Structure 1
């Protein structure tokens, strides 16, 4: 208790106080700044020995009598060697945990809030789908503050060995959602989905239980046959797949391409940084086959509806990834290949069939240079070397049939 006994003020005096800090006794104070009057309780913390101040609310919302009751309650707490501010914060945290927010609800909020910052428009759907399939059956309806290590393991153990890459991604998503919940005060304690120093003590390392999952790719010996089949189709999706193959570009980069990025005379396509995975502008040399495709689709140009190079069926909308996949599956006569896998086909060709240095092929794929020293010294993008390589790549994919001895 403070040195001054409590109940030194009157309601009338509180009304007439001038600017300053005034005491009612018993550790109860009121700070006056103009029309503002704020109650507070000042004390020495029994746990740290430091001076602390706990706000009790503004006057007249909190009357003199109510402020005295709050101060008396705080003094009783101090007599029990408990810090009243810590007690109140713990009670508030408990109240937040008891709101009944489930993991599924919090996951939905997290995805919604993060979506504007994700450059890949597919990510919200990917996150939602993976969580609904793999996490929600185990923890979707569980209160987010009650999720523990065994709950996370119930999600991961069934797929850790068989679908390790997917399982690790889901683990990371659960971890970020639980961190989000903790920041909001909906849960406390360590994150049970954290890998380092926690789940790493229970589950084997991802690299020790699985091999790298490569994208299903057309064999470099068969790519010519597939390109011929694509050429026989008049569909714009087939043209987009051919263009992606000839440029070794990602599906999203091709589908989102607009005519302002293309220089037909200079034979170059410049993909801006905001559309690149590595967030760096990427210059793509265009071989003759790619230019021919652009001339074909130029007739479809609609400058008032997005000016897309490869427009979809709905005006102003790009082709879907599914449309490109269907065109490739039809041409390859199998669903066991992906459009992204065409980049692997190109990389295999560059490594096995040419003498181009590794970094030339990596730059053609717009990959980051792994060695930091090498990246610092290489300021150019090897454009002319890449142009020569892409011309040779076009010759390779234009040959409809090859054998292992070719």
Structure 2
């Protein structure tokens, strides 16, 4: 019998033989273990000998065993380990089975817990917002299997908010999209994400811009900025100083309100805002003008806090404090008969 001969065995030969190990050829063997007889595929992969179980003789006949062995040979020829391939298939099947019982709500809760543990969000406010969105606004779909969530389900929770509480609706849509994206990566879903806006929900919901009647705050003409800052310096209070620093550095209000002395290099005229405080999650370096440096040098340091512009009662000053400084300036201008 040649080394590469295949299909040696017959059903009768198998029934009549009492050998512990029978060779069919091409790596296919029938072996006796205990009181049972089992098919195995013997092969080499990555210079190592491996055995792939193909099932017991009582449930896998000779023809089926040969088909399974040939499928394994094809994988080997394509550089795929049959055992690892089986593990991958089993993992996918397990994920599908898990998806059938994993509901959207519990999965969303797990998603939030993982984000908090990884430090993905900057503060408790973001976490609270997510939990509220997924519990209250996404409540009607929490018990639906994550694998079954479709466009009708997403629309059912968006439509009551759309055009009424637009910002909440948009956050809800975005967060559902992210949760479903995560579920797909974990093998709990297949297909397109039903919460995607572009090319999907945009066709059945009005564009947010058409629904959101945004009243922008009036902007100060660039030609009047220098005059505004000059007058601002005559106004007392932490809000006025924080507002001036915001203007001089072109920073966001939140960046200024959270600014601390360890972030400042006065000698190098540099403000380094750490990634955890930035909206994009990346460190931001701001070159300080001479005016900004002078302002900082003139600002007293308060005991018990590293904040440059702390609130009177401790902690960060609020956005309202900066807004109040602007309103006082505006009122003063109006009283003087100017445009404000």
| Correspondence 1:247-266 to 2 at 5 A | 247-264=249-266
Q: Which residue of 2 aligns with 1:58?
A: none
* Residue aligned with 1:92, SS: helix
- 2:28 and 2:129 map into 1 onto residues whose CA distance is 58
- 2:143 is the alignment partner of 1:131: no
Judge conservation of contact 1:165–1:213 (CA < 8 Å) in 2: no
Deviations 1:304-360 (A, max 9, x none): xxx44346899xxx935xx5145457x47xxxxxxxxx7xx9xxxxxxxxxxxxxxx
Distance, in Å, in 1 between the alignment partners of 2:56 and 2:145 is 35
Partner of 2:51: 38
SS of 2:271's partner is strand
**SS at 2:300 equivalent:** helix
The answer to whether the aligner puts 1:401 opposite 2:329 as a matched pair is: no
How far apart are the structure 1 equivalents of 2:266 and 2:89?
Answer: 70
Q: After superposition, what is the alpha-carbon deviation per residue over 1:116-174, rounded to whole angstroms, capped at 9, x for unaligned? A: 36464354333333333422x22123222222211100111112223334423321221
How big is the alpha-carbon RMSD for the aligned residues of Structure 1 and Structure 2?
5.1
Partner residue, 1:180? 182
Distance in 1, matches of 2:59 and 2:114, equals 38
Contact kept in structure 2, 1:175 and 1:194, CA below 8 Å = yes
Change (3 A) 1:177 1:293: same
Deviation at 1:201, TM superposition (A): 2.7
Would the aligned equivalents of 1:30 and 1:38 in 2 still touch at CA under 8 Å?
yes
Picking from 273, 284, 303, the partner of 1:300 is 303
Equivalent runs, 1:100-115 vs 2, <5 Å: 100-115=101-116
Match of 1:208 among 189, 202, 210: 210
Q: 1:192 aligns with which of 191, 194, 204?
A: 194
Query: Where do 5+ consecutive residues of structure 2 fail to align?
Result: 1-5, 32-37, 69-85
Q: 1: distance between equivalents of 2:301 and 2:18? A: 85
- Work out whether 1:29 is the aligned partner of 2:41: yes
Distance apart, 1:67 and its partner CA? 4.4
Q: What SS does the corresponding residue of 2:134 show, helix, strand or coil?
A: helix
1:270 alignment counterpart: 271
Deviations 1:367-387 (A, max 9, x none): xxxxxxxxxxxxxxxxxxxxx
Match of 2:289 among 285, 288, 292: 285
Q: Secondary structure at the match of 2:205?
A: coil
1:405–1:183: structure 2 CA closer, same or farther, 3 Å change rule? closer
Aligned partners of 1:151, 1:108: CA distance in 2, in Å? 18
Correspondence 1:203-242 to 2 at 5 A: 203-212=205-214, 214=216, 231-232=236-237, 240=242
Deviation at 1:250, TM superposition (A): 2.0
- Could you list the per-position Cα deviations for residues 47-102 of structure 1 after superposition, in whole angstroms to 9, with x for gaps in the alignment? xxxxxxxxxxxxxxxxxxx54466459949x89xxxxx79967753442123x322
Q: Distance in 2 between matches of 1:238 and 1:400?
A: 14
Q: Distance in 2 between matches of 1:229 and 1:125?
A: 40
Aligned residues: 290
Task: Tell me the residue number matched to 1:319.
Answer: 315
Cα gap change, 1:40/1:31 in structure 2, threshold over 3 Å: closer, same or farther?
farther
SS in 2 for 1:159: coil
Q: CA deviation at 1:198?
A: 2.5
Secondary structure, in 3 states, of the residue corresponding to 1:300?
Answer: coil
Note closer, same or farther for the CA distance 1:90–1:260 as it changes in structure 2 (3 Å cut). Answer: closer
Q: CA deviation at 1:112?
A: 3.3
Structure 1 gaps of 5+ residues are 42-65, 80-84, 333-341, 346-395
CA distance in 2, matches of 1:102, 1:73: 43
**TM-score (structure 1 length as normaliser):** 0.53
